[in-house]
Amino acid sequence: MSVTRCDIFCKVIDNYGDIGVCWRLARQLVAEHGLAVCLWVDDLAVFARLEGGVAVDVAVQEVAGVRICRWRDAVQAEAADLVIEAFACDPPEAYVRAMAARAHRPVWINLEYLTAEDWAAGSHALPSPHPRLPLVKHFFFPGFTPATGGLIRETRLFDTLHIFQSSASAQNAFWQRISGACVADEALKISLFAYENAALPGLLDAWANGEREIFCAVTAGRHLPQIEAWLAAKGVANGGDMPARAHRPLPQVGRLRLAFLPFLAQQDYDLLLAACDLNFVRGEDSFVRAQWAARPLVWHIYQQQEGAHLPKLAAFLALYCTTLGEMESRALRKFWQAWEDEQGADACWPALLAALPGLQKHAQRWTKNLVSEPDLGSKLLIFCKNLLECPAL
């Protein structure tokens, strides 16, 4: 038996992060590995914002070679060779029974959340037998080390972004297209994607009152109302929507100029990260994509009750800073902690700004090291092949 058909199940929990990961993986499995992929989604409205080709009122549709279906219709579906449930979302019970009824049981994967914590390597690929049915689910942990499942990365992604970063004309055309503005070469270019954060207004003040000219590309997201309120308090209009902004100056306060971007497709978001000197990201999908851009980043991790997210944040920082210089490590750690604590980011900004040249060199080394390892899609299919050839694994 070989894997030719794959079903991916995704419940949209954290807005764009969950569906963002699933959509990238689904497209890659089709384009680079030739699988017939069906993506089962419970919220097509959110998906449609991420991918403009998705219709919210169509039960079955095909976009980028991926078959997209409504979650509730999976109860009548024929089970695929490979079944991926994203982040323990649990496929419908009727579908699980269809999996068990197959003559050749499918490979069932629980694609877990990304973490740099040590225990992930020990838990990666572990089996979990179903309590009632003749099925075994395997845990697949993305990660940064060879002992884990790797990271989602399209084959040509790194080369594509490097070519883009090497072309000033391509970047200028990109900025003009997404923001309607020309960006000065000497400006520090920052992308800002975050959850709500009480430290944000103070950081905007620090950027506006600093000595360095800053161009900040503001993405759509939960942080947007705070920025609009900050501008209103300064007596500055935000520039309106994208068509209107094309004919009026971008809002500026002191040395800070803000560009409010339309919702970007994933490919354009990758280019945005590559075009910036510093990227503020959140959750999981944008966090990984910022690392492929080989640029310094600030991560706003998804917060969990009782601080359950803090060990994950500390584990990544410990790994990321292993080969980082003392000055850069101290500046990065202090700023990330201030951003997480939602206070004091403005006071930590000058040190982070001074450390950016060293952080840029480190980001390039870090990314080259990650690229030297197989990507998640490739590792996943190798694991499936081995499992099918030796079911006892």
> Edge-to-edge, what's the strand order for the sheet holding 256-260?
252-253, 256-260, 214-218, 188-192, 278-282, 297-300
Amino acid code (one letter) for 153: R
Beta bridge partners, 37, equal 6
**Is 284 designated active site?**
yes
Amino acid code (one letter) for 348: C
Q: Which of 18, 51, 270, 346 is catalytic?
A: 18
Distance CA 34, CA 56 (A): 26
Q: Are strands 256-260 and 252-253 parallel, antiparallel or unpaired?
A: antiparallel
CB 134 within 8 A of CB 144: no
Structure-token pair, residue 168 = 């000033």
What are the residues whose beta carbons fall under 8 Å from the beta carbon of 372, sequence distance 6 or more? Answer: none
CB 38 within 8 A of CB 8: yes
**Is 18 designated active site?**
yes
Classify burial at 325, counting beta carbons within 10 Å of its beta carbon; exposed 0-12, middle 13-18, buried 19 or more.
Answer: middle
How many degrees, rounded to 5, is the angle at CA 334 between CA 151 and CA 227? 80
Please provide the DSSP assignment of 131-191 as one string.
Answer: SSSS-EEEEE---SSTTS------TTHHHHHHHHHT-HHHHHHHHHHHHS----TTSEEEE
DSSP H/E element including 36:
strand 36-41
Q: Which of 112, 284, 285, 375 is catalytic?
A: 284
State phi, psi for 137 to the nearest 5 degrees: -100, 140
* Ramachandran region, residue 235 (left: φ > 0; alpha: ψ -120 to 50; beta: rest): left
Q: Catalytic residue numbers?
A: 18, 284
